[in-house]
Structure 1
Amino acid sequence: MILALTLSIVLGTMAGALLYSRRQARARTLADWAVGGRRFGVLVFWFLNAGEIYTTFAVLGISGFAWAHGAPAYLAFTSVSLSATLGYWLMPRIWDAGRRRGLVTQADFFADHYQATWLGVVVGIAGIAALVVYVQIQIVALSLIVRLTLGPDVSPLAAALIAAAVMLAFVYFAGLRSAAFAAGVKDVLMLLVVAGLCLTVAGKVGASSMLDVYRLAQDTHPGIGSFPGLQPEAGMSTTWLMTAALNVALGNWILPHMFQLCFSAGSEATIRRNAIWQPIYSLSYFFIILMGFAALLAGTVPDGGDTNAVLLQFVADRYPPWAIGIFAGTACLLALVPGSVLLLTAGSIFSRNVVLPLRQGMSDRASLLVSRGAMIVFAGIAVWLTLGGSRSLVEIGLSAYAAIGMLAPGVYFAFLWKRAHAAGIFAGIVAGYLALLLPQAQALWNQLLPQWDHGLIAMAIDAAVAAAVCLVWPAKIQAFGHENHIAQT
């Protein structure tokens, strides 16, 4: 029953997504395939953009993080609200630049604004690297669901390969339109599943109500609801919370797939309406953290102590097969939808910003083929990363945010500072990655700024170096066209 229900949900959604994309229009160009023809309205854009709240990172990752650490899982509340606030200002500017200049990818933005094709190549490679790490999150989660439905006899390698193959099939032919439809199905199902679990969870752990689950968790595990949480040695203090939340907020819209989603909106009003309502949508994290605390009270211990599998194990232990099947199928969509968008974005960047500068005059059809082929390669790399590590989904996600944060100063400077130029932005990116990745630098930050998020420190160094180079080495100001959009806004 579990396998049948899971397959019904996944295959039914895939069929609906393909039918929806065919009714809208066939993706004949890279722009149609990658940004949906720039026509998404409020509802579709909501499910693609604000619906990013319901992913495996959020549901499986945050619930497992709450089970393992307690209060540090509150990072989800703060980072989403801060991201939406910043997005209200930033997203319309990204959308306007893309509409006026015909931009498809984030790397297009850098190459066009700074009038440097080579910078677009650098940004494209950096963006792809961050996206592949983020795809790893979805494959880790989807592999766990595959093993839950098919049985533990399925090897981790086989589960990861199945996960990658399904993810590729999900978006391979129809592009962003199919992901938009599936995102709507995913969000509706997840809301129903979370509501159902939360309404019944108190009885599963001996509590009288949902709020009583929090009380029992505090009584049983003192300190779970305050910082630094259940594992003080992890260094997740209030300082960590503030710096990590700020880093996630500053980097959220810099993630290439989020940047590209801004281009898909039909109007500026569509974007602003989403930003207004997104913080309210994030209140659903209350219920996700609740499930993590309930799993702790129930004594749930996933195989190997894997925090990513906590909620899956709790549902498998405490609920009937039909409920497990619905949850597993919905959880599959949580991985498939964002994972497919991530792969689509990485493929678009590779063909348009890495290959095209080397092969001028490549046709739209050839670009589309290169994008689809690159998706397969990037999915394979993500599978390899999945097999090589066992970090929590939250830790992997924070690594992706830290990596992509090195591109953030270049975006903000583009809208705030006319003096910024390509050489300065490149110098900042190099300095930022050195500050983030060098072991000696990490040891220094631990000593000078203990418990600070390293991604935020590296981003600050990136911005400082970029500003210094632009001041010391002036360059001709380049804008998006004859009008200076910065002055207007």
Structure 2
Amino acid sequence: MKLVIVVVILLGTVAGAVSYGRRTRKGHTFSDWAVGGRSLGALIFWFMNAGEVYTTFAVLGISGYAWALGAPAYLAFCSVSMSYAIGYWLMPKIWRAGRTRQLVTQADFFAARYDATWLGVLTGVIGIASLIVYVQIQLVSLGLIVQLTLDDLISIQAATLIAGLLMIAFVFVAGIRSAAFAAGVKDVLMIVVVVLLSATVAGKVGAASMLDIFHMAEVQHPGIGRFPGLDPSSPTTAIWLMTSSINIALGNWVFPHLFQMSYTAQSATAIRRNAIWQPLYSLAYFFIVLLGFAALLAGTHPPGNNLNAALLQFISERYSAPVVGLVAGTGFLLALAPGALLLLTAGSIFSRNVVAPFLPGLKDRTSLLISRGSLIVFAAIAVWLSISQKGSLVKILLDAYSAIGMLAPAVFLGFLWKRTTAIGVLAGLVAGFVALLAPFAAHYWAALAPQCEPGLIAMAINAATVVLVSLATPRPTPHAVSLGVAAEALAASK
């Protein structure tokens, strides 16, 4: 029963996505595959943008954090709302820059704004590395869902490998428009699942109501609703919450796939409307945290005490096969839709910004083939990381945001300060990554600021270095600086 429901959901969504993609695309060019012809309207852009709110991280990661730690799961509420506040200002600027210079990838922006092809290559490699870590989140979750669907008949390693193959297959038949359609189906199913589970979960754990679950959790586990949560020795204090939320909010739209997604919009108005209303999506985290608390009250013990599997284990133990199948099928889409966008973006950057600078005159068709071939390699690396590394989805996410956050100062200053130079950006990247990844860094920041998110500290060092070095180096060329000026002129015409 579970398998039948999952197959129906997957095949139905993929068929609809492919049909929609073929019907609405303008051609077979690299640009159409990567940025949808820059013509996504408000509705389809809504679902694509919202795909970053409803992912496997949102459901399995946050519920698992609530099950294991309690209050630290509130991170989701803060980070999503703050991200869209910044996105309201930043995303239209990215869109305008893309229209002005016909940019396709994030690395295109760096190369154009700083008039430095080499910087496009460097930031492209950094972006691809960050995307692979983000794909890891989807594969870890998808592997768990595959195991649930097959009743644990296969190992987690085999399940993760199957998950990787499914993601690659989905990307090859998708493209940006098809991925957006799948994201819409996924969001609708997610709402159905959340409402269904939340409406019935109280009876599964002997509570009088949904709110009674929180009361029971506090009675049985004192301090679960306050920071630092269930573990008094955990560094997840209120300061951790604030610094981690700020780090996520500043880095969110700097992720290459979201940067590239901004290019796909039909207008800046569509972007702003989304940014105004989509923080409402974060309210769904209340129910996801609720389910994590319910799993704790039910005495759920996932295999290996894996907090990422807590919700799935709870549902498989307390709900009927049709409900489990619906959850599993929705879970597949929660991983495949954003995973497709991540791999598609990584492949686009590789062919356009890493390979093309060394192969002048690369034809559009060849570039498309290289892009599709490279994403197989990136997916394989993500599978290897998923199998070889352990950790909560929240921890993996914070690591990904810390890495991509190193590009944030160059993006923000690129729009705000004409004096920012390519050499300044390079110096900032070096200083930031040393502060983030040097062997001594983790122990040093843990001792100096034990409750602060290290990624935010490294980002601040990066930004200060960019400013100081930019002041000490020659001004950028008028052509490079004109990217922001031309973008503002385009905004006025719209």
Q: Same fold by TM-score, threshold 0.5 exceeded? A: yes
Rate the CA distance shift 1:480–1:361 in 2: closer, same or farther, 3 A.
farther
Q: State the match for 2:260 in structure 1.
A: 260
Rate the CA distance shift 1:16–1:480 in 2: closer, same or farther, 3 A.
farther
Rate the CA distance shift 1:158–1:27 in 2: closer, same or farther, 3 A.
farther
Q: State the match for 1:210 in structure 2.
A: 210
Aligned 8 A contact 2:60 2:311 in 1: yes
- Return the alpha-carbon distance in structure 2 between the equivalents of residues 21 and 202 of structure 1: 41
Aligned 8 A contact 2:25 2:37 in 1: no
Aligned 8 A contact 1:111 1:117 in 2: yes
Give CA-to-partner distance per residue, 1:433-454, whole Å, 9 cap, x none.
1110112122111111121000
- Return the alpha-carbon distance in structure 1 between the equivalents of residues 43 and 303 of structure 2: 39
Q: State the match for 1:126 in structure 2.
A: 126
Q: State the match for 2:284 in structure 1.
A: 284
Range with greater deviation from structure 2 (242-251 or 430-439): 430-439
Q: State the match for 1:4 in structure 2.
A: 4
Aligned 8 A contact 1:418 1:477 in 2: no
Summarize the alignment of residues 367-386 of structure 1 with structure 2, pairs less than 5 Å apart: 367-386=367-386
Question: What is the deviation of 1:173?
Answer: 3.1
Q: State the match for 1:474 in structure 2.
A: 474
Q: State the match for 1:392 in structure 2.
A: 392
Aligned 8 A contact 1:97 1:480 in 2: no
Question: What is the deviation of 1:143?
Answer: 0.4
Gaps of 5+ in 2: none
- Return the alpha-carbon distance in structure 2 between the equivalents of residues 444 and 8 of structure 1: 52
The answer to whether structure 1 residue 345 and structure 2 residue 362 are counterparts is no
Aligned 8 A contact 1:186 1:334 in 2: yes
Q: State the match for 1:147 in structure 2.
A: 147
Aligned 8 A contact 2:96 2:487 in 1: no
Root-mean-square deviation (CA, aligned residues, Å) is: 1.3
- Return the alpha-carbon distance in structure 1 between the equivalents of residues 387 and 454 of structure 2: 25
Give CA-to-partner distance per residue, 1:191-228, whole Å, 9 cap, x none.
00100000000000111111111111111111000001
User: Runs of at least 4 residues of structure 1 off by over 2 A?
Assistant: 474-489
3-state SS in 2 of match to 1:78: helix
- Return the alpha-carbon distance in structure 2 between the equivalents of residues 103 and 411 of structure 1: 14
- Return the alpha-carbon distance in structure 2 between the equivalents of residues 2 and 95 of structure 1: 42
Aligned 8 A contact 2:83 2:248 in 1: yes
Q: State the match for 2:355 in structure 1.
A: 355
Aligned 8 A contact 1:101 1:480 in 2: no
Question: What is the deviation of 1:486?
Answer: 7.8
Q: State the match for 1:73 in structure 2.
A: 73
Gaps of 5+ in 1: none
3-state SS in 1 of match to 2:174: coil
Question: What is the deviation of 1:119?
Answer: 0.1
- Return the alpha-carbon distance in structure 2 between the equivalents of residues 193 and 209 of structure 1: 18
Q: State the match for 2:245 in structure 1.
A: 245
Rate the CA distance shift 1:427–1:483 in 2: closer, same or farther, 3 A.
closer
Give CA-to-partner distance per residue, 1:360-417, whole Å, 9 cap, x none.
1001100000000001000000000011111111110111000000000000011111
Question: What is the deviation of 1:428?
Answer: 0.3
Per the normalisation by structure 1, the TM-score is: 0.98
Rate the CA distance shift 1:407–1:247 in 2: closer, same or farther, 3 A.
same
Summarize the alignment of residues 440-479 of structure 1 with structure 2, pairs less than 5 Å apart: 440-478=440-478, 479=480
Give the length in aligned residue pairs.
489
Identity %: 61
Q: State the match for 2:422 in structure 1.
A: 422
Aligned 8 A contact 2:26 2:37 in 1: no
Q: State the match for 1:484 in structure 2.
A: 485
Range with greater deviation from structure 2 (127-136 or 275-284): 275-284
Aligned 8 A contact 2:100 2:486 in 1: no
Question: What is the deviation of 1:174?
Answer: 3.4
Question: What is the deviation of 1:153?
Answer: 2.8
Summarize the alignment of residues 83-98 of structure 1 with structure 2, pairs less than 5 Å apart: 83-98=83-98
- Return the alpha-carbon distance in structure 2 between the equivalents of residues 25 and 206 of structure 1: 51
